[in-house]
Structure 1
């Protein structure tokens, strides 16, 4: 004896409902926000100024790959430096400056400059006739900072309203595909919960992991079909309104048939429509079969 499957449906759904709501909130709101913040942080890191990359004892290349710095020593606040090497390529001409001491200062326009004291600057290559060696008391090279503009959001970073109201016709299908995927996650969670209820009844002779195997297999098929549908909608191969319902309706239908079969094992008409091998495999979940064994 034991609890019937019908008596388990309500408490299981009551337990799963908050989790499904959390999945919906994560998919619809937290997921795009997290992706957006990650992209902004990554973009700003790539747009960081050259001075933020200076580290003692290491060669550092500027963001535009046009300048190389080496500083042997610098203090904590990075205002005074010692033994500086700075190589710069400008208009195809190489310029190398070296100095024993220097410091960093704020330049006009919010940028920063490295000021080298009592050093030498080498312009050109030694094999070229215009090669020059210059001594200086003070030499300043400005460090240009890129403007940290936030990049345009991609479809996986847009809010629900941005996905629906984007006027760009090129982005319409990717936006609808992203929206379809986000809405599909909580629906998939609900479908998997319903399917898991009848799968919980297993034949002990089949082992403890048989139901787990089928559950994982169903999840993989379900999620892959959802991703495949998203790709088709994004490429414009399938209309979003056509692609929105078949997978989930199929999952709910499978759950209904399995649950109905648990409640009423005499309902075997649908098994006769299946290949014998598949029908026999599904038959192992019947209470009649379990009682007989």
Structure 2
């Protein structure tokens, strides 16, 4: 049918253009944030692109849902402004008739949103946590870039090396400032290297000296050494068995129905249900007056999107805190949004029918 095919084509074009714009904006924001984390030493500079990909993939369900929502509102809003909707209404096509082509166009995207939220989201978070954990657990000496001061992971030492070797395990002209509750020491050495002893990592310094000051007595001690060994307080990487809920697979969340796990599962299911409800909400929210050139309906629709997704986060918090069961939270937030969408759709359709009945009676 001409109605279905033309509307689906317009929706597909609008969805593609909207998704490209939203991806560009969001990826730029995530790139700036990831570069900032790398600049302060929270993530490895070599992992910036990989972390950016994981972050974008994890937030892709929200971007897809927003793109769908905006494309429906923008497409139907344009039809209102161009008086196409008036023609369809005059031809006997009600507003509820637009639900079928919208859903037929959007159901593949809804399946992708569900798969990303339930299966890809925990995998992405697990991989990102592994990268950050590996970076945080590396040796203190490996944190140091040549010619730069760097603080150790526990904040008690400051390192500086003039240059390092090709393997990154040996540094030359090493400087270490160590701070303790009652003492402060400055250690310098010609070379330094990392050695493993069981699960502990040691920094071995060769040919240097150590200046130590007792803060209570003010006594200063100077000592020279040919070899000096320091426990840098790091351990060899080990796999973390206890994953946070956001990095736990959905099946494991069901197997361990703790409040936090159920809250996370509520959030994942809420992404899919929210995307479907927003499609229904977009149809009545797209109504616009063709005599006005403003886009207030689009701004109001975006405000609705923000409020709805904040409600999804609120449902997760309430379930995690034990204030609501998962089923009750899904029924309250998403069932209520579905009823609101149906009520708005009915109200808009009844308003259109009364308008055309008055016009017919007047003629």
TM-score normalized with structure 1 length: 0.74
Q: Deviations over 1:43-92 (max 9, x none)?
A: 33332211211222233332233433322233443455443323445795
Say how many residue pairs are matched. 267
58-67 vs 125-134, which deviates more? 125-134
Q: Check 1:146–1:217 CA distance in 2 against 1; reply closer, same or farther (3 A cut).
A: same
In structure 2, distance between residues paired with 1:58 and 1:103: 16
Match for 2:151 among 52, 61, 68? Answer: 61
**How many Å apart are 1:129 and its aligned residue?**
8.7
C-alpha displacement at 1:204, in angstroms? Answer: 1.0
Give me the CA root mean square deviation. Answer: 3.3
* Cα displacement (A) at 1:193: 0.9
Is 1:98 matched with 2:188? Answer: yes
Q: Which residue of 1 aligns with 2:18?
A: none
Q: Report SS of the residue matched to 2:145.
A: coil
Residues 204 and 227, structure 2, Cα contact 8 Å, conserved in 1: no
Q: Which residue of 1 aligns with 2:250?
A: 160
Distance 2:308 2:215 in 1: 67
- Long gaps (5+) in structure 2: 1-86
Are the aligned partners of 2:170 and 2:194 in contact in 1 as well (CA < 8 Å)? Answer: no
User: 1:129 and 1:210 mapped to 2: Cα distance?
Assistant: 71
Asked whether the equivalents of residues 182 and 214 of structure 2 are also in contact (C-alpha less than 8 Å), the reply is no
Match of 2:341 in 1: 255
Measure how far apart 1:40 and its partner are. Answer: 3.1
Does the Cα contact within 8 Å between 2:202 and 2:229 map onto a contact in 1? no
Structure 1 partner of 2:324: 238
The structure in which a higher percent of residues are helix is: 2
C-alpha distance in structure 2 between counterparts of 1:65 and 1:217, whole Å: 43
Counterparts of 1:193-204 in structure 2, within 5 Å, are: 193-204=279-290
User: Cα distance 1:55–1:205, how it changes in 2: closer, same or farther (>3 A)?
Assistant: same
**1:144-198 deviation per Cα after TM superposition (whole angstroms, max 9, x unaligned):** 432434273222222212221226xxxx222222212211211111111122223
Q: Which of the numbers 112, 122, 147 marks the counterpart of 2:211?
A: 122
User: 1:136 is matched with which residue?
Assistant: 225
Larger-Rg structure? 1
Query: In the alignment, is the contact (CA less than 8 A) between 1:84 and 1:116 conserved in 2?
Result: no
**5+ residue gaps, structure 1:** 266-282
Contact 1:105 1:115 in 2 (8 A): no
TM normalised by structure 2 equals: 0.62
Contact kept? 2:284, 2:348, Cα under 8 Å: yes
Q: Which residue of 1 aligns with 2:161?
A: 71
Structure 1 residue 287 displacement after superposition: 5.0
Cα 1:66–1:212 change in 2 (3 A) is: closer
| Paired residues of 1:113 and 1:143 also in contact (CA < 8 A) | yes
Other-structure match for 2:35: none
1:289 aligned to 2:344? no
Q: 1:219 aligns with which of 283, 305, 309?
A: 305
CA contact (8 A) 2:182 2:215 kept: no
Moved more, 139-148 or 188-197: 139-148
